[in-house]
Structure 1
């Protein structure tokens, strides 16, 4: 038995020895040659990408956190906000709209419902031994003597202001001026020291795809740096008549408002103002006021404390393809005048409803927003030349530019649609009746399956003109339509009055 065990042990030893030798063969034999002949793993020699450390080191001392305090805190639920600022019309957006949800929830210092630790009236009127914190945002020095740019919505309702520098030093500041229409504000720090400051890229040279670096105070974390690219330009987010935002994909959050976005040369290309976010945090879409806009506004705020803009007094709307066809315009560009304001510069210059403004001082007008910006850039008191399209040809009108009024009041004219002498425009799905005041025809019924319904016409509207010709009956409308067909027009232009406001609607015509 012991011999069998010894024999077994010797056999096992030979097996292990053979295995060891085989292992040696695998490591040093023919297979080793095969292994060494295999292709090397993938390796890419890429051009080294520049970092932002040198840029950040130089510009960060110019960026500050802005602290705002108030003795009396107004209820913040009464307005929607950017990153914690005042209303700009977003409360008019439909419920569920992502911008409305963000501006309701994201900037409210009391949380989504606005109920957290809100001082009651007795507290507001009682102990005022110290100002209460109201908001925090960002800003940056634009001069060595202490001028700071930030957002208007950051400083709104504030009674006292301070800035916190990159080294933690907190300095008092005073408000120099604000401009709600562009959401800009200027503060001034009075101190003997010379501040590190940055400059605007006045020429607006930043392009889609360029790197940008944002520095600010997100969530109170001062001196935070994020980077991204310019993803779009000329964005209109419905904040105001002068919307021209730069869209960037850098992470921008609450507290970044008023902070700068830099190009790689250290110039400010934009001022971070808003983000698009269904959740309330950054999803990579932020909006910045272009430096070319901000520099002009900031200059006026420093010199005058307010901003004066050119104004001509017109209600305008876009020129659609259908409107262009109805008027014989080659391109759907410009802004069609729905109504000139009574006694306004445009009315005094002879501008009438139906005129299409195609250029200002020989500069082409792309759309109503472009017209508003071009006119606003002209100093009040100066004259301007408007190119208009009227009755199938271009004309030039000289106009006196006035200052934008602080409070524009519009008259509510109203319309009586009770007349019983209805006529039908069957081809267009309209039933109309002469207006009692002799100014057009009142729409009493609209076929829901008609082109008129698709274009937004509804009962109660008053059709005042067709292709700039006054109409007082359905037959006059039909005559105007026939004239348009004879001239080869693909659509007719209706001037429609609703609740005292004029607009234009282009109806497609059947050319047979």
Structure 2
């Protein structure tokens, strides 16, 4: 009798045992969120608001179909704004009833609640719904639009459930995280994922180094907590990147380390003060790094220094590349606002720069970030007295008049009067641009400009500082033989 059937049965049995063991091992390796959710959920709340707007003016607030109670979305980039707008029915008649907008969480037993600023912005009344179904009126203690955080206070006794705070600085990419919130009004919905990256810079968000995750976040999650596996809050869910209006795998949370600093200032002063250098910076790309003698693209290039600002008084110059701030390495230019913003105005900071291809350390007193960004200086029209366009850049330039220097807030430079075919046109120079620096040489007159252009090297990155409508930036180009 053949033994083949017995052999096949034995192999199948062993395979089934191995598969069962592998499945069990895989299950054991995945995190169990049940205890975390049971412990943390009672401190997570739903936020709603009421805006007592004139129904006749409702259609004029923020675009067609925008309803009373909706947050102010004007400051958000369109791709983010679309996400929030899609969370609300469009084209309906204006209502005065409370609208469910987002989430929040209780950070102290005496009733302090943290949420996003855009959740409560423009509200006349704010309501907080607890897990026991109580709905309480909340007082707005303070809000900080720059970090998109708002601090609320409710009166509900002294024994409210609270979250435990963690440290976002300890997070690592690949770590499991959990979000609890009210997407589309479904209270205490739980989603999980991993940390995708840290220190993300987003458009128009200069002072928050966001945590990026792949946790499913949707309208209504805004302001809710992001937990690590120890059940500690490490972030506040704030934005998603979307092209469809829904979740696409890219969610962004405000680090709790940033949030708690904001909370302390809002409790104490009702507002937030941040450090300020008074400089305009830009990213250092490969060509700029080569031009400034850097071994690799890194740091923040100073394109403009505000006269009389902290950077100006501390000795920062146009063309400096800031490599570190208070011994914190500046890898991307977006790292600098985060670092400076954490410093209290009036404190002294150490700034390491690359200047003339040598490292220098500067000590400077940090100022306070102005309430509103300074407006760009008005441009001026070119005057007479230009150079010929027989230079290697193919541009006609003119000396600046005293009035133009004052209007443009520049000490020196030449104004582009005409752009003809050549490298100048290819890098986007326009009439009215002011060239103040070329190949790391200061440009004060047409004569200096022509001499520097004549001596420009071939087949190497060349930097040029251009002031356009009051804003300065560096561009790079190469000249052939």
For residue 428 of structure 1, give the secondary structure of its aligned residue in structure 2. coil
1:430 to 377, 392, 395: 395
Moved more, 67-76 or 497-506: 67-76
1:86 to 53, 62, 72: 72
Show structure 2 runs of 5+ residues with no match: 406-411
When Rg is computed on C-alpha atoms for both structures, the one with the higher figure is: 1
Measured in 1, the distance between the counterparts of 2:211 and 2:275 equals: 24
Q: CA deviation at 1:164?
A: 0.9
**CA deviation string 1:455-508 (max 9, x = no partner):** 3323331212221412422x53353356664xx993332221111222222232
Distance 1:408 1:297, change over 3 A: same
Distance 1:477 1:196, change over 3 A: same
Measured in 2, the distance between the counterparts of 1:34 and 1:320 equals: 65
For residue 497 of structure 1, give the secondary structure of its aligned residue in structure 2. strand
2:462 maps to 1:492: yes
Measured in 1, the distance between the counterparts of 2:208 and 2:157 equals: 37
Distance 1:200 1:31, change over 3 A: closer
Aligned to 1:106: 86
Aligned pair count reads 458
1:71 to 49, 52, 76: 52
Measured in 2, the distance between the counterparts of 1:295 and 1:198 equals: 13
Aligned to 1:167: 132
For residue 357 of structure 1, give the secondary structure of its aligned residue in structure 2. strand
What TM-score, normalized to structure 2?
0.86
Aligned to 2:442: 469
Measured in 1, the distance between the counterparts of 2:10 and 2:291 equals: 76
1:295 to 251, 254, 260: 260
Measured in 2, the distance between the counterparts of 1:366 and 1:60 equals: 38
1:367 to 322, 332, 336: 332
Aligned to 2:39: 58
Q: CA deviation at 1:427?
A: 3.3
Aligned to 1:385: 350
On the 8 A contact 1:326/1:489 being kept in 2, the answer is no
1:400 to 338, 354, 365: 365
On the 8 A contact 1:84/1:135 being kept in 2, the answer is no
Measured in 2, the distance between the counterparts of 1:419 and 1:134 equals: 61
Distance 1:38 1:299, change over 3 A: same
2:105 maps to 1:133: no
Moved more, 418-427 or 329-338: 418-427
Measured in 2, the distance between the counterparts of 1:100 and 1:147 equals: 28
On the 8 A contact 1:468/1:495 being kept in 2, the answer is no
Measured in 1, the distance between the counterparts of 2:177 and 2:325 equals: 33
2:212 maps to 1:227: no
Q: CA deviation at 1:417?
A: 2.1
What TM-score, normalized to structure 1?
0.81
The two structures, once aligned, show a CA RMSD in angstroms of 3.0
On the 8 A contact 2:100/2:185 being kept in 1, the answer is no
Distance 1:483 1:413, change over 3 A: same
Show structure 1 runs of 5+ residues with no match: 1-27, 120-130
On the 8 A contact 2:325/2:350 being kept in 1, the answer is yes
On the 8 A contact 1:179/1:185 being kept in 2, the answer is yes
On the 8 A contact 1:415/1:462 being kept in 2, the answer is no
Measured in 2, the distance between the counterparts of 1:422 and 1:288 equals: 53
On the 8 A contact 2:47/2:126 being kept in 1, the answer is yes
Measured in 1, the distance between the counterparts of 2:471 and 2:244 equals: 37
For residue 311 of structure 2, give the secondary structure of its aligned residue in structure 1. helix
Aligned to 1:455: 427
Moved more, 201-210 or 186-195: 201-210
Q: CA deviation at 1:418?
A: 4.5
For residue 476 of structure 1, give the secondary structure of its aligned residue in structure 2. helix
1:505 to 464, 468, 475: 475
